[in-house]
Structure 1
């Protein structure tokens, strides 16, 4: 008797990327595209009445952050496996999602066959994460074992969770550094900095640097250092 197809839901705001993943799922006989969403609100409304075997979700969305839905599914539909749709250089955000319940991630520039295979691997118990993220998880476990009260992996305030790298970028923004300077200071590319900025804006529900600093300060997400310090 043939194995039933795995029901897949997709949350991705970029139309081109969303169509790519939709086509990847539809092309494989063991996968079934159950639903596809552009916004967090659409996905949350759908999952309130339906279920899926796996969710592919982007992180920075027009109306929120993918980790919000991940937490809801972990509580209400724990059988739904979550894979983060990520970009290269976004390891800290992926790490925060793994700690929140994601089983792994898929890069946005993966090949169609790779996308289907990753989903099927998850179906059979695998957790697709890179050696870099696996190493960070091990390091964090070691720190927790050595320290009975370790510092949290991400800042939590008003339901907002920031990865360590996002917190670092936020601090540099608050001090007035330009994006190019942030890239140099953190040792990442401008593209990666822009990705972190996009994630920050989505999580804080803002549209500018000044709004981000104001909201982060109001939520207690910034250190005691003043801008320009």
Structure 2
């Protein structure tokens, strides 16, 4: 695994990869960052382009959307984090739902900004990342606080009472974690689409949760699934 640079800013250049399929948004972010002399900015419009770039060199900073034309930015977060413990990763997305927030953070994202709360000075935000800060949109921060306050002892850690899920229920749970629709899950597993809701209800009951996001969070904490 690459070690990359430390969280503290250094004198050398900082490589930044911006992964965003909307060209005007990608250009706007890239242009704003390029005004900082120490930033070396590259852009990618989809998952394939981003993978080509990270296969050449892991960036010091990854800024990625989650909804890409050929896949999910979650996959890119996982791949970069597996290859570098010190790369700074920030999500810039319109998605602020439980599943997206929890999955991105657990996969290794250091910050999560919603596009409707995009900072005026993105270069300052990247500098904050390099200083070890975790830029997070206010609504995302409130969600994390609510999740933390709602857990026994005030922590976001499972009580480790691993649920006894069947292999099929774990398959269903993996589909939920990947963001697949009920139809996608059924087609992938070769089962009737009408049976998927029943499996999901059983998963919710065994994990003692009420939403997809909570189910993904508990499953990851208990080691039932891994990204």
Coarse TM-score class (shorter-chain normalised)? 0.5 to 0.7
Q: Which of 76, 83, 90 is the matching residue for 1:76?
A: 83
Q: Which of 16, 24, 28 is the matching residue for 2:24?
A: 16
Aligned position for 1:97: 104
- Cα distance, 1:46 vs. partner? 1.4
TM-score, length-normalised on structure 2?
0.64
Alignment coverage as a number of residue pairs? 173
Aligned position for 1:218: 187
Whether the aligned pair in 1 keeps the contact of 2:99 and 2:177 (CA below 8 Å) is no
Whether the aligned pair in 1 keeps the contact of 2:47 and 2:72 (CA below 8 Å) is yes
- Cα distance, 1:50 vs. partner? 1.2
Unaligned stretches of 5+ in structure 2?
A: 1-9, 165-171, 201-227
Is 1:144 matched with 2:157? yes
- Cα distance, 1:223 vs. partner? 2.6
Q: What does 1:1-229 correspond to in 2, within 5 Å?
A: 3-33=11-41, 35-87=42-94, 89-90=96-97, 92-109=99-116, 110-113=118-121, 115-129=122-136, 130=138, 131-136=141-146, 138=148, 139=150, 142=155, 144-149=157-162, 156-157=173-174, 161-162=177-178, 200=179, 204=180, 212-219=181-188, 222-224=196-198
CA distance change for structure 1 residues 218 and 31 in 2, over 3 Å: closer, same or farther? same
**Structure 1 CA distance, aligned partners of 2:89 and 2:155?**
25
TM-score, length-normalised on structure 1?
0.64
